[in-house]
Chain A
Amino acid sequence: MKTVTKEKGTKAKTDAKEEIWNLRLYVAGQTPKSITAFANLKKICEEHLAGKYRIEVIDLLKNPQLAKGDQIVAIPTLVRKLPAPIKKIIGDLANTERVMVGLDIRSISE
């Protein structure tokens, strides 16, 4: 399990509504799709959630038992653990627009 955390906490604490985005990316080994997905996710987060997100990458090849908890079927799957409610996006996250819709990021970036 590798965890990538990027926090630039200055802005986050000023607004009560703004909280840390807890994102989990489920992958199965270093496949091209999962590498692409991670790259895409990072790019989006940097652009829209700079300083207030946390990405957890879970490799199911190493921890297969974790798949059950978040009902993972497809790989890669991105799970938005926080803020609630839980949202899932599957695929390599190539379509930024849809990722933002899926994660409900748009409102915040505006």
Chain B
Amino acid sequence: MGKAKHVVVFEKCPTGIKGLDEITKGGLPRGRPTLICGSAGSGKTLFAMEFLMRGAMDYGEPGVFMTFEETPEDLAKNFTSLGFDLHGMIARGRIAMDHVKIERNEIEETGEYDLEGLFIRLGNAIDSVGAKRVVLDTIEALFSGLSNTAILRAELRRLFHWLKDRGVTAIVTGESGDKMLTRYGLEEYVADCVIFLDFRIEEQISTRRLRIVKYRGSSHGSDEYPFLIDETGLSILPITSLGFDYPVSKERISTGIPKLDTMLDGKGFYQGSTILVSGTAGTGKTSLSAAFADAACRRGERCLYFALEESPSQIIRNMGSIGMDLARWVKKGLLKFHETRPMVYGLEMHLLTKLKRVAEFKPQVFIVDPISNLINAGTVSEVKSILTRLIDYLKMKNISTFLTDLTQYEGIQGRTSSEISSLVDTWLLLRDIELNGERNRGLYILKSRGMAHSNQVQEFLLTNQGIDLVDIYTGSGEVLTGSARAAQEAGEKATELTSRREVERRLRDQKRKRNALETKIAALRAEFDVETEEVHLMAEEEQKRQAVLAEDRLEMGHLRKGKSSVPTAKQSKKKRERSVR
């Protein structure tokens, strides 16, 4: 035992109650009694019963339920609704039940006595099923049935020792008292583990909380943990023990809107990140959520959609009008809607319901539309705390979370948004842009951690083909949206067209001119050619004429029969010209 310091001193007994084994790091102390205290209706009996039933059903540990208040028939009836077949378990010898009834008016006390009868009954019950777990609910009833408290206290002390000796893991329930945890100070005897169940009603909304008052020899969460009682029993939610050590994904997922993906570094959101969309009424928050859900289902992922405002069928219908068929995903089982009115439960309940659905459905994408409605069920700080817990939990599970928030008309940001902004990885803002007597939707990215993202305000269009983002007109030094943008763009197009036509016309003119010029050139060239030809002809004729002349002279010389015919003729001509001068 050299490393005795780190050896777990107490073996633990898993309760099977959702969440409790996490906060107690394994369960209740095995072979020791645990005190569960709380006011009437705080869920003590349910706690005890679930511990017993889970033991018998899931951990192969038979149990004994000794009830001092409710009759076994009532208990069986009450727990049938939670899916616990008490009668069946008793019939199969997995659970033994004993109803201890003490009627004070039937009983006279004279002198010394002890509670050996109770021990014998309990021992008999334990032996009959080979019980490893025992519940005493509520042993305090003895105090109202018997008057000698000195004896009772001594006997209770003995009982708890006896339970330890028997090696059974026991749960003893006790009604909470004014000054002490329990009315009769049971905590004095049960020194190992005390769990307090609280049931509060604040502003007509009830919340249940659980606190581990002490757990000897074990570390445990010391906060108040909200818990839930529903048709599957108790669920406790460990929250504050969560740290930041959740897995971080580098995977990117599409937003469902190609243009928005482009704005987000061209790849969309990070998988497992938290996305908040805030905007005033009618800015298209639900449409964005639906697009995201649609995209997730297209990838074959499961998506859990919490609708706090609209009914699922209404959402499906409305999204059909912008070209999204969500019904097929619901049919395929990829998309699951869960509708709750915020006012129905307290916040804790909301949270727990959500977490339970997440645990059941195991979605990759989780949508709450809108979170601002939760304000109705609590205060801002409560909502923040709930959302923190929710977001942390979902991050740990690497589930992409998409929250929408309805903001007020006056302010840019809603109360909820600003409260949880630090928890959010990507924050999209949808806003109204009012201009020239019309209202248009604008979308921009307020922040997006870990990616280069667009700083542009995009016009957000809902068309019957789906959602589209259009660059807002920013030319000529002004920002225009909607029909103003369209008009401006049309005007620009017209101008552009006119100028293009002008250019075309000029080009055509030029071409024509060139053609004309070329024709002219051709004509001139033709003329020139003709002239050239004429000149050639003339030259030829001249040559011919000269030839003919020479021939004639020769002939004349022949005719004169003289020797110096030609030169003489020339000299004589020159002489003639000189004589004239």
- Which residues of chain B are within 8 angstroms of A36 by Cβ–Cβ distance? 111-112
Beta-carbon contact of A73 and B115 below 8 Å: yes
- Which residues of chain B are within 8 angstroms of A93 by Cβ–Cβ distance? 110-111
User: With A60-B116, A73-B102 given, is the CB distance from A67 to B110 under 8 Å?
Assistant: no
Beta-carbon contact of A89 and B108 below 8 Å: yes
Q: How far is the CB of A78 from chain B (nearest CB, A)?
A: 9
Q: Does A57 contact B (CB under 8 A)?
A: no
Beta-carbon contact of B111 and A92 below 8 Å: yes
Q: Does A99 contact B (CB under 8 A)?
A: yes
Instruction: For chain A, give the interface size range.
Output: 20 to 34
What CA separation (Å) do A28 and B121 show in the bound complex? 11
- Which of A72, A86, A91: most chain B Cβ within 10 A? A91
- Which residues of chain B are within 8 angstroms of A67 by Cβ–Cβ distance? 117, 120-121, 124
Count contacts on B: residues with CB < 8 A to the other chain: 24
What CA separation (Å) do A68 and B142 show in the bound complex? 16
What CA separation (Å) do A109 and B195 show in the bound complex? 54
CB closest chain-B residue, reference A90: B113
- Which residues of chain A are within 8 angstroms of B109 by Cβ–Cβ distance? 89-91, 98
- Which residues of chain A are within 8 angstroms of B120 by Cβ–Cβ distance? 28, 60-61, 64, 67, 72, 75
- Which residues of chain B are within 8 angstroms of A92 by Cβ–Cβ distance? 110-113
What CA separation (Å) do A81 and B145 show in the bound complex? 20
Beta-carbon contact of B110 and A94 below 8 Å: yes
| Cross-interface CB contact of B117 among A28, A89, A98, A101, cutoff 8 Å | A28
Beta-carbon contact of B112 and A33 below 8 Å: yes
- Which residues of chain A are within 8 angstroms of B146 by Cβ–Cβ distance? 73-74, 90
User: With A64-B124, A67-B124, A68-B98 given, is the CB distance from A73 to B117 under 8 Å?
Assistant: yes
Beta-carbon contact of B124 and A74 below 8 Å: no
- Chain B 86-119 residues near chain A, CB threshold 8 A: 98, 100-102, 106-118
Q: Does B123 contact A (CB under 8 A)?
A: yes
- Which residues of chain B are within 8 angstroms of A74 by Cβ–Cβ distance? 113-118, 146
CB closest chain-B residue, reference A33: B112
- Which residues of chain A are within 8 angstroms of B117 by Cβ–Cβ distance? 26, 28, 60, 67, 72-75, 77
- Chain B 111-156 residues near chain A, CB threshold 8 A: 111-118, 120-121, 123-124, 142, 145-146
Beta-carbon contact of B124 and A65 below 8 Å: yes
CB closest chain-B residue, reference A101: B108
Q: B residues bordering A, Cβ < 8 Å?
A: 98, 100-102, 106-118, 120-121, 123-124, 142, 145-146
10 contacts between A and B (CB under 8 A): A26-B117, A33-B112, A33-B113, A67-B120, A71-B102, A75-B113, A77-B113, A88-B106, A91-B109, A92-B112
